[in-house]
Amino acid sequence: MVIKHLLPILGILGVGTGVGGLLLSRTAAQSTVFLLEGIALTCLVIYFAGNWTRLKTFSGSRSTRLGFNGILAILLMAGILTIINFLVIRHGGRWDLSETQNFSLAPQTLQVLGQLEQDVRVLVFAHERSPGFRTYRDLLESYAYSSPRISVTYVDPEKEPGLASKYEISKIDTAVFESGEQTVHVPKASESNLTNALIRVTTADAKRLVFLEGHGERLITDRERGGLSLAKQNLEAQGYRVARGSIRKDAALLDDAEVLIIPGPRESVEPEELTRITDFTAKGGRVLLLLDPQVTSGFEAWISEWGLTLGPGIVVDPEDRVAQGSPTALLVRRFTTHHITKGFNSPILLPVLQPVSFTETPGTNLEFTSLLQSSEESWAETNFEETTPEFDKGADRKGPFTLGAALSRKRTGSGPTPAMVVIGNSAFAGNTYLQFPGNTDFLSNAIAWLADEDTLISVSPKESVFPPFIPNPTQEHMLFAVQVFSVPFLMLLSGLMVWRRRSRL
């Protein structure tokens, strides 16, 4: 009778020691685990032996047989699912069921991944709470799945500051592509940027960019607000070789250059320099020309041979201006479908900008494409002393205007084709404004197109089902009025009505 009363305790003790032995199998000594499992086995044998008659009667009942069949079916289904899961992990495929195919790589990217001949390591300096982490993860999982030569590692720069310092990481959400001794930084997660970096890090010869100096231009060595040190840093991180110099002092400056960048000259260039620049473009050289308004740079006659005219006046745009800021500081949101701006969705901040005009001359064989546009409400202000400019119908020209343009000679053979990108402002590339996301992307895309890497830019980002809403100044004022005044007033009014109704009860 005593043993009969102890049987439930022995059953519980057997189950408990058995589970404990399993949990301690990786941490405790083998002798301890063996002892626990031995005790469990002994207790369970005694329990089943003492309840043999009851178990025999119970197992013979109809409900037990049905329950056993149910348990058996569950075990069989679990086994089938386990086998299917194993086969999918080892031999399964991937299907992109998202509405905008966010997880499918472009054909250009798949072609690049299929032609990889060397291993590439990708370090993503981000953490799970950072804005770009999810985009990096989704894209790079597809890259690594498509090519066994891609390996991806995620690094939290706050937990590993030494590694972040080694790779010169200045901001979070930065990816570093590394192959051999070459490294390329990607400051923003997009398929275009990642594929671009993949090609650059696996290419032995980096393309050379030259910043012109000697005429009061912005300098890539200048770390002040108006300097171009940040632009130099970004371009070098993207795999370019960046140089600077004066054509007057170095006649061979442009010999192996891909792109000549002229960043806002304040003094006139000499005819001899223009001749060398003309020879450079005649051989297929490319030029990024950033000319500020109200400055005589000496390029006026040279660009007129390309059919270009900058100015007169400064563009004022009530619709696309920076809210509460200067009326001549434009937040440009209107883009064309050129390779440089295709799929562009970030506004570009352009302060004090002059319009760009093009006049086609027969026989020049030029192709002009507007990149940035002002609104129909814009005009070119010619009264530069006016602090609050207003449209003067007699003196000012009405928009819309071209604010930036790409110009190239139509291809006639297999050789390089001269091309130029012209912007009527150079401040947007300075250290102050280049921190604006749209400015960084636009400058990078323009130089990549000029460096004949437009096939990479054509890997445009997937459009969101819900595109971002970027309000203009009028809409910003309306949202401010609704959020700050209307909603609190309605809440106060409803509270007073409730209070008045209750006070009458």
pLDDT in tens, 299-335: 888 888 888 888 788 888 888 777 666 778 888 888 8
Residue 292 in domain = yes
Residue 391 in domain = no
Do 132 and 156 fall into the same domain?
Answer: yes
| Nearest C-alpha neighbor of 422 from the set 434, 432, 438, 408 | 408
DSSP of 5-55, one letter per residue?
HHHHHHHHHHHHHHHHHHHTTTTS-HHHHHHHHHHHHHHHHHHHHHTHHHH
Residue 345 in domain = no
Quote the pLDDT of residue 296: 84
Please report, for the domain that includes residue 251, its CATH number. Answer: 3.40.50
Do 15 and 163 fall into the same domain?
Answer: no
Do 86 and 136 fall into the same domain?
Answer: no
Do 161 and 184 fall into the same domain?
Answer: yes
Q: What is the mean pLDDT of each run of 10 residues along the chain (505 residues)?
A: 65 76 70 78 77 66 62 65 60 55 70 84 88 86 87 89 85 86 82 81 81 90 89 80 88 86 90 90 89 86 87 83 74 84 80 87 79 86 75 80 86 74 90 84 87 58 50 67 77 84 77
Neighbours of 391 (CB within 10 A): 16
Do 142 and 11 fall into the same domain?
Answer: no
d(CA 263, CA 429): 8
Tell me the Ramachandran region of residue 214: left when phi exceeds 0, alpha when psi lies from -120 to 50, beta otherwise. Answer: left
Full-prediction pTM beyond 0.95? no
When divided into structural domains, the chain yields a total of 4
Do 305 and 364 fall into the same domain?
Answer: yes
Do 444 and 486 fall into the same domain?
Answer: no
Query: Where does a domain end: 204, 239, 274?
Result: 204
Quote the pLDDT of residue 461: 46
Quote the pLDDT of residue 422: 92
d(CA 181, CA 200): 12
Query: Where does a domain end: 204, 225, 252?
Result: 204
Do 367 and 268 fall into the same domain?
Answer: yes
Do 266 and 363 fall into the same domain?
Answer: yes
Which residue's entry shows tokens 């799945």? Answer: 145
Which residue's entry shows tokens 């494409």? Answer: 369
Quote the pLDDT of residue 211: 93
Contact 279, 410 (CB under 8 A): no
Residue 383 in domain = no
Query: Where does a domain end: 204, 228, 249?
Result: 204
Do 291 and 416 fall into the same domain?
Answer: yes
Amino acid at 423: I
Residue 297 in domain = yes
Average pLDDT across the chain, whole number: 79
Residue 326 in domain = no
Residue 443 in domain = yes
Do 259 and 169 fall into the same domain?
Answer: no
Do 237 and 196 fall into the same domain?
Answer: no
Contact 408, 366 (CB under 8 A): yes
Range of the domain at 481: 475-505
